[in-house]
C-alpha cells in the first residue's frame, strides 16, 4: 500500500518503476559507476604490479597466490558486512564512507614494509570494495526506472571493466620507467577514489529504504527534490531478516541460484584476469604485459553491447546461458593442446574474456531484481561474498596448479566450471526482464 498525504492524493497513479528518465537518473548512474571503476582499478592493478612484486620480494607460488587473492578474501568479508549494515542503516552513509577507505588504504600501500603488511592492506582494500557492491547496486536499483535498470546495472560492470583496463594501461605505462616501484602502481588507485569521494558527498538516501523504515516524510522529500514527482514507492511486506534467516527463508532458492552462477563465473575469471600476464608468460608469449593489456582492453567489447541494450533485447536468461557457452568454447580452445599455437592462445583468452565479461553484467542485475528492498543489500552482499570465496581460492590455487600440473589441465578445469554454469543456467535461471521491484520472481 502506498503512503500519500492528502495534499498529494490527486497525483497520477504511477510507480517509481515507470517514471521517465531524468537528469538525476543519469547523474546517479555516472556517480555510482565510479565505485565499480575504482573497484576494478584496485583489483586490476595488482595483476600488472605482481611480476615486479614477485621479483623484489622473491615470492614463491603460494605467496604469489596470497598477494593476488588477499583483496578477494577481503571482498568476501566486505560484501557480507556492507550489505547487512546497508539494510539496517541505509544506503547513503556507507556509499561515501567506504570510498574514503579506498583512498586511505591505497595510499598506505606506498609505505608498506613487506609481504605481510602488503597482504593486510590488500585485504582491507578488498573489504571496502566488497562493501561497495551491495551498497552501490542496491542504491542504483532503488532509484532507476525498470527500463533503465538492466542497462544501468550492467553498466556498473562495464565501469568495473573500464577501471580494470585503466589499471593495466597505467601499470603498463609505468613499467617503462625502471625506477618506478610497484608501490607507485598500487597507490595510483587513490587518485580516482579521491575524485569519487568528492562526487558522492551530498547524494540523498534511497526513498524505497526510507519507506521501509516508516520515514514517509523523508522519502517524500527525496522524490520531490530529486525525481520531481509525488509518487512514493509502496511499502513491501517483507521485513528485515538476518543473514541466517535469509538462508532459511523462501528466498534461499534465489540466493542459491545467484551465488552458484556468480561463483562459477568468478572462480576462474578472477584467477585468469589477475594472473593474465603470468599465464601468457607460461605460454612463452613475448611481451606478456602488452599481451595482457590488449586482451583486457578487448574484454570491454564483451560487456558493452549488454549495457547498450542487449540485456533488455534478449533477456537475462538467454544472456546468461549464451555467455557460459561461449566462455566454455574459449577455454576449450586453450586446453585442447598442451602446446597451443599463438593464435589459439590469444583467440581463446579473448573469446573467454569477452564472453565472461558479458555474463558478468548479470552479477548485479539478477540479485537486485530477485530480492525485496528490506533484504536486497544483504542478499547481494552474501552472493558477492560466496563468489569471492571461489575467486580467492581460484586465484590462490591457479599459480600452484600450473606450476605442478601445467597449463592444459588448468584450462580444462576452468572449462569444467563453465560447463557447470551452462547446465545450472539452463535448468535454473529465471527471466526477470521488466520485473517490478518487490514483485519477486522465486
Q: Which CATH superfamily is domain 24-428 in?
A: MFS general substrate transporter like domains (1.20.1250.20)
pLDDT of residue 325: 97
Q: How many helices (H) and strands (E) does the chain have?
A: 19, 0
Cα 144 to Cα 386: distance, rounded to the nearest angstrom = 26
Which tens digit of pLDDT belongs to each residue from 66-103? 887 788 788 878 887 887 888 888 888 888 888 999 99
Cα 369 to Cα 115: distance, rounded to the nearest angstrom = 41
For the ranges 177-186, 353-362, 365-374, the maximum mean pLDDT occurs at 353-362
pLDDT of residue 237: 57
Lowest mean pLDDT among 102-111, 242-251, 269-278: 242-251
Instruction: Name the nearest CA neighbour of 156 among 178, 177, 172, 133.
Output: 133
Cα 22 to Cα 43: distance, rounded to the nearest angstrom = 32
pLDDT of residue 11: 41
In the predicted model, what is the mean pLDDT of the chain?
Answer: 83
Give the pLDDT band of residue 3 (cuts 50, 70, 90).
very low
Cα 169 to Cα 31: distance, rounded to the nearest angstrom = 22
Mean pLDDT (whole number) for 168-185 = 81
Cα 54 to Cα 67: distance, rounded to the nearest angstrom = 9
Cα 35 to Cα 352: distance, rounded to the nearest angstrom = 25
Give the pLDDT band of residue 145 (cuts 50, 70, 90).
confident
pLDDT of residue 243: 63
**Domain limits of the chain?**
24-428
Instruction: Name the nearest CA neighbour of 213 among 187, 240, 251.
Output: 240
Give the pLDDT band of residue 6 (cuts 50, 70, 90).
very low
Mean pLDDT (whole number) for 146-150 = 85
Burial 316-326 (b: 16+ CB within 10 A, else e): bbbbbbbbbbb
Cβ-Cβ contacts under 8 Å for 138 (sequence gap 6 or more): 83, 86, 91, 206, 368, 376, 377, 380
pLDDT of residue 125: 92
What percent of the chain shows pLDDT beyond 70? 92
pLDDT of residue 60: 81
Cell of 208: 524505497
In whole angstroms, how far apart are CA 206 and each of 5, 27, 284, 294, 354? Answer: 19, 15, 51, 39, 33
Give the pLDDT band of residue 352 (cuts 50, 70, 90).
very high
Which tens digit of pLDDT belongs to each residue from 323-342? 999 999 999 998 888 888 88
Instruction: Say which residue, 352 or 71, is predicted with more confidence.
Output: 352
Give the pLDDT band of residue 377 (cuts 50, 70, 90).
confident
Query: Helix, strand or coil for residue 372?
Result: coil
Which tens digit of pLDDT belongs to each residue from 288-318? 778 887 887 888 888 889 888 889 899 999 9
Cell of 336: 585442447
Instruction: Name the nearest CA neighbour of 32 among 102, 96, 106.
Output: 96
What percent of the chain shows pLDDT beyond 90? 21
pLDDT of residue 235: 64
Instruction: Name the nearest CA neighbour of 357 among 136, 148, 159, 144.
Output: 159
For the ranges 30-34, 79-83, 371-375, the maximum mean pLDDT occurs at 30-34
- Measured between its terminal Cα atoms, the distance across the chain in Å is 21
Amino acid at each position: 500500500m502506498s503512503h500519500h498525504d492528502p495534499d498529494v492524493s490527486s497525483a497520477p497513479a504511477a510507480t517509481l518503476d515507470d517514471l521517465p528518465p531524468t537528469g538525476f537518473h543519469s547523474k546517479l548512474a555516472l556517480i555510482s559507476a565510479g565505485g565499480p571503476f575504482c573497484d576494478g582499478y584496485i583489483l586490476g592493478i595488482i595483476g600488472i604490479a605482481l611480476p615486479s612484486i614477485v621479483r623484489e620480494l622473491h615470492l614463491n607460488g603460494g605467496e604469489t597466490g596470497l598477494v593476488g587473492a588477499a583483496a578477494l578474501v577481503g571482498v568476501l568479508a566486505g560484501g557480507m558486512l556492507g550489505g547487512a549494515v546497508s539494510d539496517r542503516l541505509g544506503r547513503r552513509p556507507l556509499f561515501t564512507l567506504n570510498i574514503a577507505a579506498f583512498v586511505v588504504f591505497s595510499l598506505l600501500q606506498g609505505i608498506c614494509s613487506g609481504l605481510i603488511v602488503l597482504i593486510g592492506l590488500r585485504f582491507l582494500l578488498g573489504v571496502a570494495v566488497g562493501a561497495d557492491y551491495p551498497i552501490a547496486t542496491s542504491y542504483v536499483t532503488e532509484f532507476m526506472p525498470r527500463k533503465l535498470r538492466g542497462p544501468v546495472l550492467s553498466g556498473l560492470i562495464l565501469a568495473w571493466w573500464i577501471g580494470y583496463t585503466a589499471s593495466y594501461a597505467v601499470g603498463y605505462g609505468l613499467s617503462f620507467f625502471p625506477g618506478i616501484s610497484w608501490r607507485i602502481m598500487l597507490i595510483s588507485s587513490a587518485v580516482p577514489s579521491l575524485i569519487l569521494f568528492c562526487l558522492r558527498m551530498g547524494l540523498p538516501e534511497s526513498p524505497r529504504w526510507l519507506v521501509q523504515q516508516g520515514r514517509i516524510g523523508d522519502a517524500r522529500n527525496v522524490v520531490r527534490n530529486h525525481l520531481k514527482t509525488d509518487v512514493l514507492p509502496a511499502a513491501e511486506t517483507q521485513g528485515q531478516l538476518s543473514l541466517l534467516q535469509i538462508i532459511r527463508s523462501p528466498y534461499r532458492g534465489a540466493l542459491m541460484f545467484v551465488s552458484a552462477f556468480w561463483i562459477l563465473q568468478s572462480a576462474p575469471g578472477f584467477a585468469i584476469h589477475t594472473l593474465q600476464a603470468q599465464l601468457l608468460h607460461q605460454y612463452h608469449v613475448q611481451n606478456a604485459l602488452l599481451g595482457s593489456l590488449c586482451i583486457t582492453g578487448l574484454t570491454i567489447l564483451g560487456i558493452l553491447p549488454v549495457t547498450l541494450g542487449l540485456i533488455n533485447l534478449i533477456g537475462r536468461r538467454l544472456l546468461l546461458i549464451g555467455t557460459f557457452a561461449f566462455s566454455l568454447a574459449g577455454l576449450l580452445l586453450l586446453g585442447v593442446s598442451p602446446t597451443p599455437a599463438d593464435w589459439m592462445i590469444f583467440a581463446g583468452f579473448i573469446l573467454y574474456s569477452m564472453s565472461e565479461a558479458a555474463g558478468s553484467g548479470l552479477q548485479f542485475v539478477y540479485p537486485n531484481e530477485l530480492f525485496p528492498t528490506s533484504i536486497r543489500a544483504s542478499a547481494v552482499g552474501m552472493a558477492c561474498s560466496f563468489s569471492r570465496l571461489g575467486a580467492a581460492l581460484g586465484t590462490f590455487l591457479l599459480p600452484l596448479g600450473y606450476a605442478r600440473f601445467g597449463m592444459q589441465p588448468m584450462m580444462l578445469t576452468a572449462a569444467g566450471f563453465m560447463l557447470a554454469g551452462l547446465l545450472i543456467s539452463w535448468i535454473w535461471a529465471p527471466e526477470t526482464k521488466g520485473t517490478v521491484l518487490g514483485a519477486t520472481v522465486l
